[in-house]
Amino acid sequence: MANTNFENFLEQIWDKKIDLSEADFNLKTLTAILYLGRYQINRGDDRITFNFHQIRELLNLDDSVPINQQIKKAIFQLYFKPFKYYKLIGNCSWYLRVIRGIMKSSDDTEFKKEWAVIIDSVLLEHILQSYFKKILIPNQFFLNYHLLSDEAIKLYFSMKLQEQLAGNKEWRIDEIMEFASICKSTFYRSIKYLIQFDLVKKHAGNRRRYEKATYSINKNHTANKGYTPFSASVINNMLYNTTKKLKNGEIKLYSYLCYLAGGIGEIRKSPAEIGLLIGKEPNLISKLADILHEKDYIIKETYIGEDNQSCCRYII
């Protein structure tokens, strides 16, 4: 492979020991499709569009009927048959149908038109984490914002960031208090809600061995509602950056706007609507949005709606 970017992509999402030139054709085809759709994946899309010419070019294949038929066969096998991920996730081997849907023109007999595939959510999450270094926040978290305190939300983001940066999976209370910069009473007040909503797990210690209880991020949610990607640098800024650090209420609003936008984009909701969703008064939402605008986290704009009423839009 002459494409250095493609080689780098391969090494980060699969096992580095794999030589794509010696890999099976299904893996080659899947890797090419994922590489072609990497920017769509980074935007949060699960649909990747491509054409056979792009795949052949990446894999240095001839434009021939047998080659095109082989690519087509690989795509449909990835749809119908379970595929083992070549890079183990969480020390587990994953066997999943990595392609969940195929869209193609019925008259594309010469394989010159655009195809589209829907990629499995577990594989998308893996690419966002391994290649784009994103921190994935479960949408289940945001659905409980009206019930979660500002302190609990900040604590959860602190734990997710620590997990990504330090690689730690479990922490004692004193360790959490240190990296989250909170006191013990705040910890106990906040952690009980994170446990209640299935976001954090508590692991009891052994009293006989003087082992203290530990806490970890729960990866196995009872209801998988998808994820919202955040970059580690953004979370680090809003928690710790001297000039861009956000207060607890500002973290709650900003992170919820990111959820509404799917990570990046535009939100058109009134302060009253947003306030109802996160448990805050409309006037406070307006004030917090102004602060986020001043700190360059969002762009807040006012426009006149169809009913000639003044409305707000927020751009992440």
Q: Are 180 and 168 in contact (CB under 8 A)?
A: no
**296 and 236 housed in the same domain:** no
Give the pLDDT confidence score for residue 111 in this predicted structure.
92
**100 and 162 housed in the same domain:** no
Instruction: State phi, psi for 144 to the nearest 5 degrees.
Output: -110, 15
**251 and 137 housed in the same domain:** no
**15 and 121 housed in the same domain:** yes
**258 and 179 housed in the same domain:** no
Answer with the one of 77, 107, 130 that is the final residue of a domain.
Answer: 130
Instruction: State phi, psi for 244 to the nearest 5 degrees.
Output: -110, 5
Q: For the chain, how many structural domains are there in total? A: 3
Give residue 111's region: left, alpha or beta (phi > 0; psi -120 to 50). left
Segments of the chain scoring below 70 in pLDDT: 1-2, 15-22, 84-95, 221-224
pTM, whole model, 2 decimals?
0.74
Answer with the one of 206, 222, 243 that is the final residue of a domain.
Answer: 243
Other beta carbons less than 10 A from residue 191's beta carbon: 22
Query: Following DSSP, what letter does each residue of the chain receive, concatenated?
Result: ---HHHHHHHHHHS-TT--GGGS-HHHHHHHHHHHHTHHHHHTT--EEEE-HHHHHHHHT----HHHHHHHHHHHHHHHHS-EE-SS-BTTB--EE-SEEEEE--TT-TTS-S-EEEEEPHHHHHHHHHHTS-EEEEEHHHHTTTTTS-HHHHHHHHHHHHHHHHH----EEHHHHHHHHT--HHHHHHHHHHHHHTTSEEEE---TTTTPPPEEEE--S-SS---EEEEEHHHHHHHHH-TTT---HHHHHHHHHHHHHHTTSSEE---HHHHHHHHT--HHHHHHHHHHHHHTTS-EEEEEE-TTS-EEEEEE-
**23 and 117 housed in the same domain:** yes
> Which among 113, 95, 96 is positioned nearest to 104, based on CA atoms?
113
**95 and 147 housed in the same domain:** no
Domain of residue 306: give its range: 246-316
**183 and 233 housed in the same domain:** yes
Matching residue, tokens 């680090």: 236
Instruction: State phi, psi for 234 to the nearest 5 degrees.
Output: -65, -45
**276 and 237 housed in the same domain:** no
Matching residue, tokens 């003087």: 210
| Domain of residue 146, CATH code | 1.10.10.10
d(CA 42, CA 46): 10
Give the pLDDT confidence score for residue 87 in this predicted structure.
54
Other beta carbons less than 10 A from residue 60's beta carbon: 10
**104 and 35 housed in the same domain:** yes
**105 and 143 housed in the same domain:** no
CB-neighbour burial class of residue 69 (10 A; exposed 0-12, middle 13-18, buried 19+) = exposed
Answer with the one of 227, 243, 259 that is the final residue of a domain.
Answer: 243
**115 and 157 housed in the same domain:** no
End-to-end CA distance of the chain: 37
Mutual angle of helices 248-261 and 150-166, in 10-degree steps:
70
Give the pLDDT confidence score for residue 219 in this predicted structure.
77
Q: Are 127 and 133 in contact (CB under 8 A)?
A: no
